[in-house]
């Protein structure tokens, strides 16, 4: 499971690193960051860049670096540097590691759809939760811990072939995933307010299924493990306030299927596909 | 052919401690002329319950011809009623076509004289007593789908000979029945964890009606007067009858007698088998008396299709035929079974118990079973008790695998081994406790105990004047006794949620059964031993 998760993480990093490289080329200003210390002549595109007054934090760091080495350069280069420095006044101050805290609401379509549908009357669960991300660990790299809990109520069922009947015994199901993961954030646009991101992680899935009349050993209270991949877009709304949407695919293979409806339907994965709405703050 | 209790196994001696008290009490009651509603002290038989409608002496209505045919069959050792066949014509055959088919018989019977039960006709041809000849001749006609003799089935169960008088205590509200003899005698319910099942569904719902197609359940009390052969002459005899004190009359609905008694006459069980089977399904529980049934809140529909020695004796007397009948006389004719199944379905029964069977094919009963399932009724059928008698294929049990919603039930004993008598074959679909006195535990743990008629009151080897108004706890064993466990479970399932389909009931009873014997389905236990609690709990997602 761990190796699969690592592979997923790797794929996620590759997927999101490629757009990041393309972004560096497109912005021009970012090019300064990469090249200013070694080749001043490359600073010219930054000078001509229409984005210099509103560069992303990473960019301002690069310009600052080139400015420190300007004394031995030509007047034109100084003037160019001055213009950049003037632009720096309108640039947000350099930011290091950041934090993003958020609350979320999600709808999850369970992979074991027939089992959930038979018992709960629906194969989707609604849940809420929250998480914390540590941003800019290295460039766009971030780490996250996200927890949520979804709950469904229905009744235990009698299943005979394609025929499913309710037997009016209330059952409550709680699925609580906890994800420890990492990903890559890629600010786009002139303001950097829109930040697509993606990643993956390890899944710890707490599952609780209880029903009326059940003895203690007839209920299921267990923890399963798996992995997850996710992708989303985070948008800065006002000052530190942000909102976003995110899709996540979770897998907890071999978690169920040994009894109950999941055995009848030969469904073993307690994972699902979630769509989330996130609201939070980031510094 | 299955034999009934009296002929198959020798009766066991009465329990030594019980015999004196019971005998004395019986003698006292018989000689004192006490009314049936008299309070009887503990240690004696219980009188019949007082019914809502007290009948005085009621006229007896007897289909003497039919009973006489049953008597004749017994005396001639036939497995069918003489001269009678059940015929089903192919779909679309006109009256003219039927007449043409009937012209194959020597007597050329009139097609308009056929008696119809649904789409099956009953033909009586007095010119040919061998019904097999009639069936073969008709079956060869192109207009006929099938023709079969009017076979006689038996109730595969044996009475132990032991009985106990019901005790009484103050009722309580516990889910485990407070019936005083429950914990002593009803090992069968503990074996399948009925207390656990009752925590989920205590006794089912009155909205579910279970038809017991058997020897009947007495629904009324009073006396009937009929002439009876006393050994020298016919004497008019007043015969008391009454309902079981542990079967609430309010839960008995739409009783029907397909044999013996006609319209307006009370339904009377003169054998005790039907009452025993009905009591396993729905004997009153938590009333501080006697024993308990599985689904003690459901309604019972007794449908009398089987008769015993005393009905035959009555029929003979009505025909002025002197002499005593064979003690083994009686049985259940196929036409009555077919008619009884259809009656039960048409009158709202959702579960049908058939604790009867025999070795002869019965396509007419197969059609009736399909009719039942198509109309939403689940049917449990006894697999048969003939394992040690050549283990023939049993009917109608062997039709069960081909009809979803009909289950053939084998029997196990206390040790969860197959009961020695329980027939085996690929048609056995499920197993339930039926009792087996060879598996240890003595009489208490060897039989299925329920409240039914006081056996000495009907003993044909001793009595000439029977009575049917006193009840005790009697131990029986047989697939007849296993079958009502499945019917009771089906009734509980039908009482719960939106579980209504017979097909689903069967599938779920199988799916939750405890596998016994060879892994997976086998010929001894089918899917295994019923697990009522698991079945009633149903399925969650992961458990």
Say what the ipTM of the complex is.
0.75
Q: Do the Cβ atoms of B243 and B218 come closer than 8 Å?
A: yes
Question: What are the 10-residue block averages of pLDDT along chain B, 543 residues in total?
Answer: 33 30 32 25 51 44 70 87 95 93 91 90 92 96 96 80 68 68 93 94 96 93 86 89 93 78 73 96 93 96 92 84 88 93 96 97 97 98 96 97 98 96 97 94 89 93 91 95 98 88 93 95 97 94 93
Contacts of B250 (CB under 8 A, 6+ apart): none
* Structure confidence at residue A94 (pLDDT): 52
Are A209 and B541 in contact (CB < 8 Å)? yes
Task: Give residues 476 to 495 of B whose Cβ lies within 8 Å of A.
Answer: 493
Task: Give residues 190 to 249 of B whose Cβ lies within 8 Å of A.
Answer: 199-200
- State whether residue B497 sits within 8 Å of chain A by CB: yes
Chain A residue whose CA is closest to B197: A213
Are B540 and A171 in contact (CB < 8 Å)? yes
- State whether residue B100 sits within 8 Å of chain A by CB: no
Decide if pLDDT at A49 tops 60.
no
The token duo for B212 is 């017991």
* Structure confidence at residue B317 (pLDDT): 84
* Structure confidence at residue B487 (pLDDT): 98
β-partners of residue A146 are A131, A179
Per cent of chain A over pLDDT 90 is: 54
Decide if pLDDT at A228 tops 90.
yes
Which residues does A contribute to its contact with B (CB < 8 Å)?
A: 112, 115-116, 118-120, 155-161, 163, 165-169, 171, 173, 207, 209, 211, 213-214, 218-220, 222, 255-256, 258-262, 264
Separation in Å, CA of A250 to nearest CA in chain B: 18
Contacts of B328 (CB under 8 A, 6+ apart): B3, B4, B6, B7, B74, B309
* Structure confidence at residue A154 (pLDDT): 95
Give the helix, strand, coil percentages of chain B, each rounded to 5: 30, 25, 45
Cα–Cα distance for residue pair B52/B38, rounded to 1 Å: 16
β-partners of residue A106 are A127, A276
Nearest beta carbon to residue B542 from set A155, A157, A256: A256
Nearest beta carbon to residue B543 from set A166, A220, A264: A220
Separation in Å, CA of A210 to nearest CA in chain B: 9
Beta strands in A140-256 (DSSP E): 141-160, 163-185, 194-211, 220-238, 241-251
Confidence of residue A167 (pLDDT cuts 50, 70, 90): confident
Collect all residues of chain B within an 8 Å Cβ-Cβ radius of residue A119: 539-541
Are A119 and B539 in contact (CB < 8 Å)? yes
Collect all residues of chain B within an 8 Å Cβ-Cβ radius of residue A218: 537, 543
Cα–Cα distance for residue pair B438/B478, rounded to 1 Å: 13
Decide if pLDDT at A259 tops 50.
yes
* Structure confidence at residue B441 (pLDDT): 79
Cα angle for residues B93, B96, B97 (degrees, 5° grid): 40
Q: Do the Cβ atoms of B240 and B246 come closer than 8 Å?
A: no
Decide if pLDDT at A82 tops 60.
no
Are A167 and B497 in contact (CB < 8 Å)? yes
Decide if pLDDT at A73 tops 60.
no
The closest alpha carbon to A241, from A57, A54, A100, belongs to: A100
Cα–Cα distance for residue pair B47/B49, rounded to 1 Å: 6
* Structure confidence at residue B506 (pLDDT): 95
Distance from the first to the final alpha carbon of chain B? 44
Are B508 and A262 in contact (CB < 8 Å)? no
Collect all residues of chain A within an 8 Å Cβ-Cβ radius of residue B407: none
* Structure confidence at residue B388 (pLDDT): 94
Decide if pLDDT at A99 tops 50.
yes
Count of residues making up chain B: 543
Residue with tokens 């001793």: B462
- State whether residue B538 sits within 8 Å of chain A by CB: yes
């Amino acid at each position: 499971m761990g190796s699969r998760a690592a592979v997923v993480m790797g794929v996620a990093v590759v997927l999101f690193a490629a757009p990041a490289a393309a972004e560096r080329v497109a912005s021009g200003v970012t090019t300064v960051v990469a090249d200013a210390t070694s080749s001043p002549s490359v600073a010219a595109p930054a000078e001509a860049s229409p984005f210099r007054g509103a560069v992303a934090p990473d960019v301002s760091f690069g310009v600052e670096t080139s400015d420190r080495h300007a004394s031995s350069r030509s007047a034109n280069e100084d003037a160019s540097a001055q213009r950049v420095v003037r632009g720096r006044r309108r640039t947000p101050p350099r930011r290091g590691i950041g934090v993003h805290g958020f609350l979320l609401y999600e709808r999850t379509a369970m992979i074991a759809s027939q089992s959930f549908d038979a018992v709960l009357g629906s194969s989707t669960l609604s849940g809420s939760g929250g998480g914390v991300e540590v941003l800019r660990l290295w460039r766009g790299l971030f780490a996250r811990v996200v927890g949520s809990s979804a709950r469904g109520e229905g009744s235990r069922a009698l299943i005979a072939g394609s025929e499913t009947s309710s037997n009016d015994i209330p059952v409550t199901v709680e699925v609580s995933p906890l994800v420890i993961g990492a990903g890559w954030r890629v600010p786009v646009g002139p303001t950097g307010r829109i930040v697509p991101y993606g990643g993956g992680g390890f899944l710890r899935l707490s599952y609780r299924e209880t029903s009326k009349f059940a003895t203690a050993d007839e209920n299921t209270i267990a923890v399963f493990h798996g992995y997850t991949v996710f992708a989303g877009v985070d948008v800065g709304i006002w000052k530190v306030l942000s909102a976003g949407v995110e899709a996540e695919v979770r897998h907890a293979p071999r978690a169920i299927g040994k009894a109950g409806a999941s055995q009848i339907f030969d469904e073993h994965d307690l994972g699902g596909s979630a769509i989330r709405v996130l609201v939070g703050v980031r510094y | 052919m299955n034999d009934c209790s009296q002929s198959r196994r020798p009766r066991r001696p009465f329990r030594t401690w019980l015999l004196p008290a019971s005998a004395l009490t019986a003698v006292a009651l018989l000689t004192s002329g006490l009314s049936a509603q008299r309070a009887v002290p503990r240690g004696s038989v219980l009188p019949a319950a007082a019914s809502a409608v007290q009948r005085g002496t009621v006229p007896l209505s007897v289909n003497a011809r039919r009973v006489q045919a049953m008597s004749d069959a017994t005396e001639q050792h036939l497995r069918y009623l003489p001269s009678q066949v059940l015929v089903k014509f192919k779909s679309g055959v006109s009256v003219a076509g039927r007449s043409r088919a009937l012209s194959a018989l020597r007597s050329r019977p009139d097609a308009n004289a056929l008696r119809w039960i649904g789409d099956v006709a009953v033909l009586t041809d007095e010119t040919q007593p061998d019904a097999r000849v009639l069936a073969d001749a008709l079956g060869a006609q192109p207009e006929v789908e099938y023709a079969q003799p009017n076979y006689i089935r038996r109730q595969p169960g044996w009475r132990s000979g032991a009985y106990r008088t019901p005790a009484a205590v103050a009722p309580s509200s516990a889910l485990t029945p407070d019936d005083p003899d429950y914990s002593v005698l009803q090992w069968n319910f503990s074996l399948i964890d009925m207390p656990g099942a009752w925590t989920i569904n205590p006794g089912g719902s009155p909205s579910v009606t279970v038809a017991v197609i058997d020897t009947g359940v007495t629904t009324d009390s009073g006396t009937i007067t009929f002439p009876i052969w006393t050994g020298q002459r016919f004497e008019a005899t007043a015969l008391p009858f009454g309902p079981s004190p542990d079967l609430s009359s309010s839960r008995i609905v739409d009783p029907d007698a397909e044999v013996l008694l006609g319209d307006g006459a009370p339904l009377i069980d003169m054998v005790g088998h039907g009452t025993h089977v009905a009591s396993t399904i729905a004997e009153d529980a938590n009333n501080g008396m006697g024993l308990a049934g599985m689904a003690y809140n459901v309604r019972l529909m007794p449908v009398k299709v089987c008769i015993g020695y005393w009905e035959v004796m009555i029929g003979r007397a009505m025909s002025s035929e002197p002499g005593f009948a064979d003690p083994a006389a009686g049985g259940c004719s196929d036409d009555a079974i077919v008619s009884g199944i259809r009656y039960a379905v048409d009158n709202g029964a959702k579960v049908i118990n058939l604790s009867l069977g025999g070795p002869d094919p019965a396509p007419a009963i197969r059609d009736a079973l399909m009719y039942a399932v198509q109309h939403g009724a689940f049917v449990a059928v006894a697999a048969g008790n003939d394992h040690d008698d050549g283990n023939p294929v049993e009917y109608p049990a062997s039709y069960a695998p081909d009809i979803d919603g009909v289950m053939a039930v084998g029997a196990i004993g206390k040790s969860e081994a197959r009961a020695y008598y329980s027939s085996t074959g690929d048609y056995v679909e499920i197993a339930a406790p039926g009792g087996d006195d060879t598996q240890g535990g003595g009489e208490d743990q060897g039989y299925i105990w329920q409240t039914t008629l006081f056996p000495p009151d009907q003993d044909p080897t001793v009595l000439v004047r029977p009575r049917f108004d006193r009840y005790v706890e009697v131990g029986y064993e047989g697939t007849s006794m296993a079958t009502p466990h499945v019917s009771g479970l089906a009734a509980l399932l039908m009482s719960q949620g939106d579980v209504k389909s017979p097909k689903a009931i069967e599938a779920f009873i199988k799916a939750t059964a405890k596998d016994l014997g060879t892994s997976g389905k086998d010929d001894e236990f089918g899917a295994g031993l019923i697990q009522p609690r698991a079945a009633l709990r149903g399925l969650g997602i992961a458990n």
